[in-house]
């Protein structure tokens, strides 16, 4: 069957874990769950995946041979 790409699976699990932790904190006496904390968790996932995508694109760009252009006559 079709499966999610690894990066998307990691993002889904990370975001789900953040939501679960906020819910769990809301159920713990003396603690509160926070939508803003959850938002920060999601932002962290997005920033980390963006960094990985940028590093991957950079490494792929370095791996490809560059065509040499001859000067115009």
Q: What is the predicted pLDDT for the residue at 64?
A: 73
Both tokens of 60, joined, read: 């792929």
Residue 48 tokens, joined: 């980390």
Q: Which residue has the tokens 């980390």?
A: 48
Q: Which value, in Å, is the radius of gyration of the alpha carbons in the chain? A: 21
pLDDT at position 7 is 86
Q: Is the pLDDT of residue 73 over 80?
A: no
């Amino acid at each position: 069957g079709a499966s999610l790409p690894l990066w998307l699976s990691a993002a889904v699990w990370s975001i789900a874990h953040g939501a679960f932790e906020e819910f769990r904190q809301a159920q713990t006496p003396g603690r509160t769950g926070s939508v803003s904390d959850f938002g920060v968790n999601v932002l962290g996932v997005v920033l980390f995946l963006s960094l990985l995508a940028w590093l991957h694109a950079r490494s792929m760009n370095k791996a490809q041979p560059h065509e040499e252009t001859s000067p115009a006559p």
